[in-house]
Amino acid sequence: MTQNRIFLIGMSRAGKTALGKNLAESLDMDFFDTDLEVKQKTDMEISEAYLKLGEKKFRELEFEALKAFADSSNSIIATGGGVIENVLSYEFLRRESQKYISLKKSVKLIFIDTDPEIIFNRIEDAYSRGRAYPKFLGDVKNSDEAKTEFYKVYNRRKNMYAALANIHFKCEYSIEEACKQLKNIILSDTMQ
């Protein structure tokens, strides 16, 4: 039975959700987002849920969201940037990644690797529009502290993402162009 399940992993603000929605439409697949699932379950924005529930409970909810999509077919699942911080979620994704070979490439983990400067600029842009710095940066007080913390997190996580991924996609284009390129990669990978 072909499962055709694609997980998008990578940093927060790497473009996983926008890219995933476009890909799902382009490939006629369903789209799911673990962040959206957590938001619906808690009736809170992600930053609020992380703050009010604490990281441990938040990561548990993320894991529950991953498990909810475990049997989905013909779907693209965007994950939260910190999903790999929970050992249960990491192991779940590692097992999914191993299905790539056993299920003839029908289950894929794709690392959306966006330039860290672009990601940090997106964080700064959101901050300049009144949003708080993402909670994964800790209690930062200014742009310099935020950037230092961001790179610590980025450098730790990028190796974890790369270790899990079957496909490493350098996202250097507009969402539309990235969608076209990634669609071609997915289709050619499936046919090999």
pLDDT, tens digit (0-9, with 9 covering 90-100), for 129-185: 888 788 888 888 889 999 999 999 999 999 999 999 999 999 887 888 999 999 998
Which has the higher per-residue pLDDT, 117 or 107?
117
Which helix (H) or strand (E) element contains residue 171? strand 167-171
Q: Are 61 and 41 in contact (CB under 8 A)?
A: yes
**Total-model pTM:** 0.92
* pLDDT at residue 39 in the model: 94
Distance CA 1, CA 47 (A): 38
* pLDDT at residue 191 in the model: 53
* pLDDT at residue 72 in the model: 86
Domain borders along the chain are: 5-191
Give the pLDDT band (50/70/90) at residue 119: very high
* pLDDT at residue 100 in the model: 75
- Topology adopted by domain 5-191: Rossmann fold (3.40.50)
* pLDDT at residue 129 in the model: 87
Mean per-residue pLDDT, 110-115: 96
Mean residue pLDDT across the chain:
89
